[in-house]
Amino acid sequence: MAKNKAQSSIELIVILSVVLVVFGILFTMSQKNYSAYQGNLRSVQARSALRDITNAADFVYSQGDGARTKVYVTIPYGIQGPIEISNDYISMTLNLGGRTQDLVEFSESECLQGDIPEEAGSYWITIECIEDCVWIGTVTSTTTTTTITTTTTIPEDANCLTIHTDSASISGGKDDRLTGITIENTCLDDIVVTKARVTWTPTYGEKIEFVKIDGQNKWAHNCGWGCLPTGKQVSGTLLDFGSRDYTLTAGSTENVDRFDFDSDMDYKDWIIEFTLEDGSTKSATINMS
């Protein structure tokens, strides 16, 4: 009897040891997956911030001296060294824990000046064209001194737009469609939506194919109405509606019918962004991972 009890105790210890080893392996794997996910998310945020700022810089540069706009960007933690603004590009280095990623976006302007906050957080950044240069941050000129400050004041058109995502879901026969999003114009004047940007993470090479708002096709990979860029597009690409800008009438709420993709889009986090006619942007996040 005593021998049987001793044998049972040994077997229990062995079983518990195996369970602990398996648990340790699973825990280590989950930690690695979570770290990879966080790194991907920060990379998407950093790239989106650079792209939004350079797009805004291109916009005011095309409008000429005195043109001004604001963009709302999220600077992730882990920025290594200063964010460099130099002539026709903006660059940053992102520390992803054990490795670094260099990110750069080029502008149509050949005279970018100023500074971008390096501390993690979300900011409204004012961007202005002065004497053929595009200024980001504090502006100093031989003939003009202008102070551009980070502010919570939203540009007029973006201030009118509210993006509702409470009912967002993945649908379609292959789980390749994002639906359930609505947009609302809270102002007394019409606003015009000209572009959209859909960012998702994690990314595994999926591409967006189609955007439909209020029953109207606005962007498609094979469109024939001047939408850009052509072809299926990766996460974070700015999608220009071409000749089919969407007018959201005063006080109305309309469906963003669907975003279609070429692959299964389950278990992802999203940033949905719309660009208005005045160049301002409004975005919303959706957590589905």
Tens digit of each residue's pLDDT (9 = 90 or more) over 25-67: 655 555 555 455 566 778 888 888 888 899 888 888 888 888 8
Give the domain CATH number at 200: 2.60.40
Q: What is the pLDDT of residue 1?
A: 54
Instruction: Indicate if 222 and 276 belong to the same structural domain.
Output: yes
Q: Is residue 275 part of a domain?
A: yes
Q: Is residue 109 part of a domain?
A: yes
Q: What is the pLDDT of residue 2?
A: 53
More confident residue, 13 or 95: 95
Q: Is residue 33 part of a domain?
A: no
Residue 173 has pLDDT above 50, yes or no: yes
Least confident of 2-11, 13-22, 53-62, 216-225: 2-11
Instruction: Indicate if 126 and 185 belong to the same structural domain.
Output: no
Rounded-to-integer distance, Cα 12 and Cα 236, Å: 53
Residue 266 has pLDDT above 90, yes or no: yes
Residue 146 has pLDDT above 80, yes or no: no
Instruction: Indicate if 161 and 276 belong to the same structural domain.
Output: yes
Q: What is the pLDDT of residue 46?
A: 87
What is the model's pTM? 0.51
Q: What is the pLDDT of residue 200?
A: 94
- The rounded percent of the chain whose pLDDT value lies above 90 is 45
Q: Is residue 1 part of a domain?
A: no
Banded model confidence at residue 81, pLDDT cuts 50, 70, 90: confident
- As for how many domains the chain has, the answer is 2
Q: What is the pLDDT of residue 79?
A: 87
The residue range of the domain holding 133 is 38-147
Q: Is residue 219 part of a domain?
A: yes
